[in-house]
Amino acid sequence: MFFDIALQNLASPPVLFFAIGAAASFARSDLAVPDQVARLLSLYLMMSIGFRGGLEIAHQGVGPTLAGTLAAGVLLSFAMPFLAERLLCLLTRLGPVDRAAVAGHYGSISAVTLAAVLVVTSQLAIPADGFMVAVAAAMETPAILACLLLAGGGGARRHSGRQLLREVFLNGSVVVLIGALVVGTVANPRAAATVKPFLVDLFPGFLCLFLLEMGLIAGRGLRDSRASLTPGILAFALLMPPLGALLGLGLALPLGLSAGSTVVLMTLAASASYIAVPAALRIALPQANLAVALTMSIGVTFPFNLLIGIPLYIGIAEAVR
């Protein structure tokens, strides 16, 4: 089953466009997506994901599992940096501040990985519950707090609380995701139907374009930062996603989540942030070398989840259901 899902995923347009971007970057092509276009694509993806999640919540209603799943997501996001930091101690020679920074990235989530898994589960007819979008939003920030606890006095700024809170809770992607979720939930169904062709039907095409840009970034990071990717760092970036997915599975089973929602929670726990956490840590941990964490999350963990992880998580979730 895993190989069938993996082959199907590898042959999907979003993954193929990611591969094109990575190959073009390695070949030093002049292919590029302008920064403003990339930002627009990111905002569109967050708006589309949130809006679709809101429509599902409005259709299904808020069930009793929502509160438990939200709590599980927050717990995962807060606890995983402590596991990541211990694993980094065993596998790498990174200093305490850099370990904390990397751990924070791996406790938070990747919204683009969320977009990818939603497309795959939809194509395989195992869709997730709409409230999983709210769970993803809740998992953006607890890891940052855990990261600061891990860093302790090793470089964390003590007088930037207000600015840090703005970065954590008013991050653009978080605001758009939650805002679109609310809009989809409360909007009049007839009015919502008028924007559905743009916010829902065009999503796969915009995702392909965004993953093309992500492929360019991942390829460039791997090409330019090969010296910093020691065997221990590579091992961590490949081991942490399955460990996170297993933790997500362990919480999904007692909650009674559907197969699709279980896959999404596993994928969220397996992903690593490269938007919200770097923005916050530039303020809170200015001494941290964020380039290492970004290269790991975008250049190694993101492609792993896209190519191998998501099919693996789907196979495990369906096997235990």
Lowest mean pLDDT among 97-101, 190-194, 257-261, 291-295: 291-295
Q: How far apart are CA 41 and CA 180, in angstroms?
A: 15
Q: Calculate mean pLDDT across residues 188-215.
A: 91
Q: Calculate mean pLDDT across residues 200-213.
A: 92
- Give me the chain's average pLDDT, please: 88
pLDDT, tens only, 16-64: 999 999 999 989 999 998 989 988 998 899 899 889 888 888 877 777 7
Higher pLDDT pick, 172 / 214? 214
| Global confidence as pTM | 0.87
Q: How far apart are CA 285 and CA 282, in angstroms?
A: 6
Q: Calculate mean pLDDT across residues 113-123.
A: 91
Contact 40, 202 (CB under 8 A): no
**Selecting from 1.10.540.10, 1.10.1060.10, 1.20.1530.20, 3.40.50.300, what CATH number does the domain 2-320 have?**
1.20.1530.20
Higher pLDDT pick, 290 / 205? 205
Phi, psi of 92 (to 5 degrees): -130, 175
What pLDDT is attached to residue 208?
93
Q: How far is CA 87 from each of CA 42, 151, 247, 309, rounded to the nearest angstrom?
A: 31, 15, 15, 19
What pLDDT is attached to residue 260?
95
What pLDDT is attached to residue 28?
92
pLDDT, tens only, 242-279: 999 999 999 999 999 999 999 999 999 999 998 778 87
Contact 48, 200 (CB under 8 A): yes
What pLDDT is attached to residue 5?
74
Q: Calculate mean pLDDT across residues 183-203.
A: 91
Q: Is the alpha carbon torsion for 285, 288, 289, 294 positive or negative?
A: negative
The two tokens of residue 65 are: 């599992």
What pLDDT is attached to residue 159?
46
Q: How far apart are CA 67 and CA 270, in angstroms?
A: 21
- pLDDT over threshold 50, residue 171: yes
Domain boundaries, the chain: 2-320
Q: Concatenated DSSP letters for 135-186?
A: HHHHTSSHHHHHHHHHHTTSS--SS-HHHHHHHHHS-HHHHHHHHHHHHHHH
Give the list of residues 6+ apart from residue 262 with CB closer than 8 angstroms, or none: 248, 249, 252, 253, 317, 321
Lowest mean pLDDT among 120-124, 144-148, 168-172: 168-172
